[in-house]
Amino acid sequence: MKKYYSIAIDGPAGAGKSTIAKKVAKDLGFIYVDTGAMYRAMALYFIRNNISAKDQESIEKACKDVKIVIEYIDGEQGVILNGENVNGLIRTEEVGNMASASSVYPVVRMKLVELQQELAKTENVIMDGRDIGTYVLPNADLKIYLTASTKERAKRRWLELKNKGIDADITAVEKDIIERDQRDMTREFAPLKQAEDAILVDSSNLTIEEVVDRIKEYFNNIKGLI
């Protein structure tokens, strides 16, 4: 059977996981799997149907009506929610917060974990999220826990919003990030934590290129050993 490589990147909100993972994927010729986008697509469905994240029964019922499919066009991941490509609708703070709140339920997670594991069986993948190294791909060839100080992450998020023409309050952005991390780290099922065999990378004082090069170097070092 052909061996497919897998790299897991976990870490808190705004650590730069997707930017870094996309670049590493391009350089190594891997598929980039953005698992947060899948939780966001589910969240969009709940928001559209006026389902509160606190209403576990309705969330569980709604999960039966949601079909998420992942497709790749020119290397870009497309998330298809019940037949509709929702990539352009899931990047808001509202959807992000709903994704964090609704992803605490095992029924939501199990639906997506299966999809994520299937993707890793047929492609070389670099997958980012919160539970990739600890739960989704426990045998990943390389695990990275990517983080940065809360201040730095808030600054990056704020700049990202500013570039989109959104004038946000940096203190509010930081508060939001702290709340999101707290929820993602303390949920009962598959919480965000550094896997025992993950390499910690603190990007507070590193450029994107420095982090990308570091991850590629780690991978090339272990590749010869696999």
Q: Which stretch binds ligand DC (CB under 6 A): 54-62, 69-77, 98-106, 217-225?
A: 98-106
Q: Which residues lie below 8 Å from residue 79, measured CB to CB, with a gap of 6+?
A: 37, 38, 40, 41, 68, 69, 70, 85, 86, 87, 90
Based on the shown chain and the rule CB under 6 A, indicate whether residue 6 belongs to the binding site for ligand DC.
no
Compute the chain's Rg from CA coordinates: 17
Binding of ligand DC at residue 131 (CB under 6 A)? yes
130 binds ligand DC (CB under 6 A): yes
Instruction: Pick the binder of ligand DC from 8, 20, 28, 40 (CB under 6 A).
Output: 40
Q: Helices marked H in the chain — which ranges? A: 17-28, 35-48, 56-63, 93-102, 106-122, 150-163, 170-186, 208-223
Pick from 5, 30, 32, 39 the residue near ligand DC by CB under 6 A.
39
Note the Cα 2 to chain centre separation in Å. Answer: 26
Taking the complex as a whole, the smallest distance from the CB of residue 23 to ligand DC amounts, in Å, to: 16
Least gap, CB of 220 to ligand DC (angstroms)? 26
**Interface ranges with ligand DC (CB under 6 A):** 13, 35-36, 39-40, 96, 99-100, 103, 129-131, 180, 184
